[in-house]
Structure 1
Amino acid sequence: MAAPPVKLYGPPMSTAVARVLACLHEKEVQFQLVPLDMSKGEHKMPDYLKLQPFGQVPAFEDGSITLFESRAISRYVCEKYASQGNKSLFGTNPLEKASIDQWLEAEGHNFHPPSAFLILRLLYAPMLKLSQDENAMKENQEKLEKVLDVYEKRLGECRFLAGDEFTLADLSHLPNIHYLVNNAKKEELFSSRKNVWRWWGEISGRESWKKVLEKIDEGLALRR
């Protein structure tokens, strides 16, 4: 008898949820998406806090196993389902895994903070009644530009961040870049760097990401 599908909790519009969705599609893992309504505080309910003690998204269930934090979930999915889907997504030997991990860490520590700040302020500040701190906006954009300059050099040396194969290191960037390019009017940050722009065109054209975008569109339609 086939094992039940894994469960992923959270709205697909969330960048962290979208990251895991892309991984699940790349690995061809059967899953059930449980799209929490965060406006109703469903992510703060006692039952959900048993899965995600910080009351954030995503949360993940695989039978009796529960996990949170999108990058950790993605690594787990790649390791458990190593023999199916994209077998190169998290490497096939220690050196490949270390290379992927270092760029995945760069995404989490260097790319994500300034990009997430810009997304929050440019897309959600009015709704959340956040004041626009122009100095902070400028500072975070400059931080992001420095990261993209490093990427530009790296992507002039190889096709993808961790080498010549698409991996988690690339996948993890998809949600934030999508919102910056398509919603926050920050396309020029990427298009002005030819190697970064070539890379973005390639990774955003993957079938796995197109499926995630369908889920995002469905989620947005339900909110209208």
Structure 2
Amino acid sequence: MAMKLHGLEMSTNTSRVMVCLREKEVDFELVPVNVFAGEHKQYPFLSKNPFGMIPVLEDGDLTLFESRAITAYLAEKYKETGPDLIRHNKPKEAALVKVWSEVESQVYDPAISPIVFEYFVAPFQGKEPNQSVIDASVEKVKSVLDVYEAKLSSSKYLAGDFFSLADLNHIPHTHYFMKTRCASLLNDRPHVKAWWEDISSRPSFSKLVGAMTFGQK
């Protein structure tokens, strides 16, 4: 029985899981959740994730939410299939994957997600982007990307010269970020730009990118 992924392709968190599933060449069924009608805040969806957020993965009798936890589960379950996203037999490399995965969730994502929100979600809600929020976030992004530029000057990917879960988890939000007026912050840093061009051109994401058009016509 194929796994079921409840969510929307345009969602950054859903697409994060979809990229991982495709890296591992796992069959799955995408079950659309109408978040615009509030379906994720109602039963029966709340029985799958009581916090009312997408995505949710159902694998037999196992139900998981939180996209990064899901990608970690998939990377472990299918560690012998496709790229080794967690470097399971190399403890030092595996430790670096975990470090940079934490950096993505705790430092990188909080810096760029407000920019993505203001450029895409706020207009969708009929609001003008809050420039003060954008300006404050830009300063944070600059500092974060300076660290990334230094790191990527010595290795092709974040945890080393191998594509890992640490890189994969960056893809969805960076995709939307690169469609904002702030994209030059990344493009002006040559090593970060080369890294982004590499990870965003992987077939696992190329098959999905056409559906990631939130707030665009």
Range class of TM-score, shorter chain: over 0.9
The structure 2 residue matched to 1:27, chosen from 12, 24, 27, is 24
Q: Percent identity?
A: 40
TM-score normalised by L of structure 2: 0.94
Partners of 1:113 and 1:155 lie apart in 2 by 20
1:213 matched to 2:209:
yes
Amino acid in the other structure paired with 1:104: S
Q: Secondary structure of the residue that 2:82 maps to in structure 1?
A: coil
Partners of 2:12 and 2:174 lie apart in 1 by 10
1:85 matched to 2:86:
no
Q: Secondary structure of the residue that 1:60 maps to in structure 2?
A: strand
Unaligned runs of 5+ in 1: none
Contact 2:3/2:59 (<8 A) preserved: yes
The structure 1 residue matched to 2:130, chosen from 128, 133, 139, is 133
Q: Secondary structure of the residue that 2:100 maps to in structure 1?
A: helix
Q: Secondary structure of the residue that 1:104 maps to in structure 2?
A: helix
The structure 2 residue matched to 1:5, chosen from 2, 5, 20, is 2
Q: Which residue of 1 aligns with 2:188?
A: 192
The CA RMSD measured in Å over matched residues stands at: 1.7
TM-score normalised by L of structure 1: 0.91
Partners of 2:207 and 2:93 lie apart in 1 by 27
1:49 matched to 2:46:
yes
Greater helix share, structure number: 1
Q: Which residue of 2 aligns with 1:97?
A: 94
Structure 1 position 139, deviation (Å): 1.1
Structure 1 position 212, deviation (Å): 1.8
Partners of 2:119 and 2:158 lie apart in 1 by 27
Structure 1 position 44, deviation (Å): 1.5
Structure 1 position 132, deviation (Å): 3.9
Q: Secondary structure of the residue that 1:89 maps to in structure 2?
A: coil
Greater alpha carbon shift after TM alignment, 157-166 vs 134-143: 134-143
Count, aligned residues: 215
